[in-house]
Structure 1
Amino acid sequence: MLSSDHIPLLRPAFELGKGKKLFQDNERDILKTVFWQQDTTQSSLVERTRIPQQTMSRLVKSLIGRNVLKNGEQIVGNRGKPAYILEFNGQFAYCIGVSVLLDAISIAILDFSGKVIASSLKPLQDMSIKTVLHESERLADKLITEHSLSADRLLGMGVGISGYFTSTDGKMNTHHKLEDWALVDISKLFSDYFKLPTWVVNDATAAAAGEGMAGVGRNYKNFVYLFISAAFGGGLISNGDILHGTHGNAGELGDMIPPKLYIHPNLEILKRILLKNGVEIDSIYNLQNTFDINWPGVEEWTYKVQDALDFVATACSAILDSQALIIGGHIPRELAEKLIPKIEIYAQFRRGTKRPLPEIVPSSVKQQPVAVGAATLPIRAICL
């Protein structure tokens, strides 16, 4: 049992109790536009949000005065009048993301603009609730101290964990290696321990959210994230927002692949193939730092998983008509780049052309993708 007298090391910056809002609806419309459309000026905000000019002037002045927004580059506006590109003020607040992995935790800290300040991975032999909460707090406090972050600017916390939601009550059926976390309210566990507003998604959805805010996914309004890690899954981004589905399980791409027909494209299979060829790796979560594309066994793995990736890519393209498929998770970028030219998306050829197909690109969030994505959850929930 967790101690009821635990005093958290971290403190929330803002009182966000039940019914309280940090930003009103009009302010959120402004923030969402400024965040996703990076050439935004006050005058263009009026056109894009339909908020009257006088009201807009007052709201923008207030947001700048509260250090939420700041004036960026000066440009020449209509009729030669100077104007400023509006930007998020990264120093206004920061968020913490926690990734509960199968044999480790990772932590990431993002500033208010979505920039990664710090991230770290810590292997653990004990993945019990008590140990994970305690070690997450210690690691987060260490990063905050190292980067001299203000203790009173913490917006909230996000958590990514392997599993699927069983209903709308926040409980998850977690991976069998995370038995202690199964069918408990994970959001409540973290929020009670840290006394912070907390949001929880599965690991693949978290990684997709992070890619959409801090990675190459920011170039696309709609994309599918192919999460290649200990298992295979995915996350969906629609019009910049996370597509959760009814129970929070949208993007379970692994369930699309019949295991008797296809080999799942995951890194545990790669690990076994490498070991068979005399290459031993300590953890798939550190693979990004040690991977060699010329290792014996890499070619065998890419050949074995190609059919499954063709199937998933074709289904995602046909059903969702996304702009991009982003290959990420804990797969090394070099390996993702090796896979991409091999993936074939099937489409009808009619009148000399196919329907528009998505780009296939590697993720650009290389370190701690789940924790980075989890750290975006408070910003998405409160501001966008």
Structure 2
Amino acid sequence: MDIVSTPAAAGRGAPATSVPEGFCSANERRLLRLIREKGPISRADLARETGLTLQSIVRLVAALMERDLVVGGPKVPSGPGQPSLPIEIARDAAFSVGVSIMDDALSAVVIDLSGRVRATHEELFDTADRGRVTRHLGSILKDLSGAGGFDRSRLVGVGVAIPGFFVDSRGAVNAPLVMNDWALTDLEAHLGAALELPVWIENDGSAAAAGESVYGAGQHHRSFAYIHIASGLGGGVVLDGKPWRGRNGNAGEFTGTLPPSTRPDRPTLRLLLDLVNAQPGTGRPFPSVGALVQAFDPEWPAVETWLARTGEGVSAILSAAAAVLDPDAIVIGGRIPPGLTLRLIERAHFYSVPVRDQDRRFPTLVASRTGGDSAALGAATLPFLHHFF
């Protein structure tokens, strides 16, 4: 899956790692994307895919090999003559960390240059105090380095996903009210200086869409809208295999498609938490969305209430996304439990006004297929997009 995109901004706030700025030329980036997507792949196939001459491909591959970014795989027969030596990504050439900071939890993932997940970390954690979280992230990175089995000098940076919307080009996010300490500040500079690594900031919905494009539904759908259901509601957009951030980095803020008067009934897990805690017979009230998700029971009576209250808002969002974007699919993901996602999809519908007994074709509704935290996975791709792809 081609994940070319423009990161939120060049990572800032820390000295450069051992990977220099502008490390790869445009053609080298093009080759690295192809090799990661289709490798192992021969030089001849790379020439056919790119339209470049075989001589140019040989020169470019040699330069990438010199930098230890690609390696030759086992020789394979390719007709008469010498067997070809397919090229593949050197997995241990570089590593990246993706972090998802939620209002009540932290999630982190390490990926290598090929995109393979090497280590993960998830925990419930009160993220209200930015300084406390930052110190804890330093410990998490140290643990992940050991679990992932890599040299920290090959860590090119950290991508961070956070809820909210961008208000300027410095990576300042207008975070939820419960995350006031994170709002309207230069998070790239603050976190980069504290972690001593370059940092890229992305909102959680767009990061999750990027993660889905590489690790989930994007393997089957080139264009999709991503509905990110967590404590709040957000999302992202992927067009022709590429995350689309929009002018201000806020593409996919699907709450904005609803009238303000209906927003209390939008499909959020905060609403579900309130409904479950107000329902008699559920036992001790859950202190957070994370605790609710861990204990989720699809038989809770409040689940039916939530589906009924949010149904009209879900249909409005899906219909708007389908009409404006005309994507292959709409993916439902975020922190929403898989069982609840399926029930939501079963009830969802698009606004339909047939003409001559025919209506336009609607996108497929699918549940997220990453099998992990899509926002953390997407955040992990940001440093690689800047340096290599």
Aligned partner of 1:376 in structure 2 is 381
Aligned partner of 2:3 in structure 1 is none
**CA RMSD in angstroms, aligned pairs only:** 2.5
Distance 1:327 1:191, change over 3 A: same
Say which SS state the counterpart of residue 252 (structure 2) adopts: coil
Paired AA for residue 229 in structure 1: A
Say which SS state the counterpart of residue 113 (structure 1) adopts: coil
Say which SS state the counterpart of residue 222 (structure 2) adopts: coil
Paired AA for residue 326 in structure 1: V
Alignment of 1:335 onto 2:340: yes
Counterpart contact for 2:217–2:369, Cα < 8 Å: yes
Aligned partner of 1:54 in structure 2 is 55
Query: Per-residue deviation at 1:142?
Result: 1.2
Query: Per-residue deviation at 1:144?
Result: 1.5
Query: Per-residue deviation at 1:269?
Result: 0.8
Query: Per-residue deviation at 1:347?
Result: 4.3
Say which SS state the counterpart of residue 261 (structure 2) adopts: coil
Aligned partner of 1:251 in structure 2 is 252
String of CA shifts for 1:183-209, please: whole Å, max 9, x gaps.
Answer: 111111122222322211111111111
Aligned partner of 2:290 in structure 1 is 285
Write out aligned runs for 1:116-127 (5 A).
116-125=117-126, 127=128
* Stretches of structure 2 lacking an aligned partner (at least 5 in a row): 1-13
Query: Per-residue deviation at 1:247?
Result: 1.3
Say which SS state the counterpart of residue 355 (structure 1) adopts: coil
Counterpart contact for 1:12–1:154, Cα < 8 Å: no
Aligned partner of 1:318 in structure 2 is 323
Query: Per-residue deviation at 1:174?
Result: 1.4
**TM-score under structure 1 length normalisation:** 0.88
Query: Per-residue deviation at 1:290?
Result: 3.1
Counterpart contact for 1:160–1:374, Cα < 8 Å: yes
String of CA shifts for 1:121-151, please: whole Å, max 9, x gaps.
Answer: 2333452221111111111211222333222
Distance 1:72 1:352 in 2: 56
String of CA shifts for 1:315-337, please: whole Å, max 9, x gaps.
Answer: 11111111111111000112111
Distance 1:81 1:305 in 2: 63
Write out aligned runs for 1:1-384 (5 A).
13-16=17-20, 20-37=21-38, 40-71=41-72, 77=78, 82-83=83-84, 86-125=87-126, 127-261=128-262, 263-277=265-279, 278-279=281-282, 280-285=285-290, 287=292, 289-350=294-355, 353-384=358-389
Query: Per-residue deviation at 1:377?
Result: 1.0
Deviates more, 1:253-262 or 1:132-141: 253-262
* Stretches of structure 1 lacking an aligned partner (at least 5 in a row): 1-9
Paired AA for residue 111 in structure 1: D
Distance 1:26 1:190 in 2: 32
Higher relative contact order (CA 8 A, sep 6+): 2
Deviates more, 1:80-89 or 1:199-208: 80-89
Say which SS state the counterpart of residue 237 (structure 2) adopts: strand
Distance 2:75 2:267 in 1: 48
Distance 1:287 1:367, change over 3 A: farther
Counterpart contact for 2:92–2:150, Cα < 8 Å: no
**TM-score under structure 2 length normalisation:** 0.87
Figure out how many residues of one structure are paired with residues of the other and give that number: 372
Counterpart contact for 2:39–2:88, Cα < 8 Å: yes
Deviates more, 1:363-372 or 1:295-304: 363-372
Distance 1:86 1:298 in 2: 50
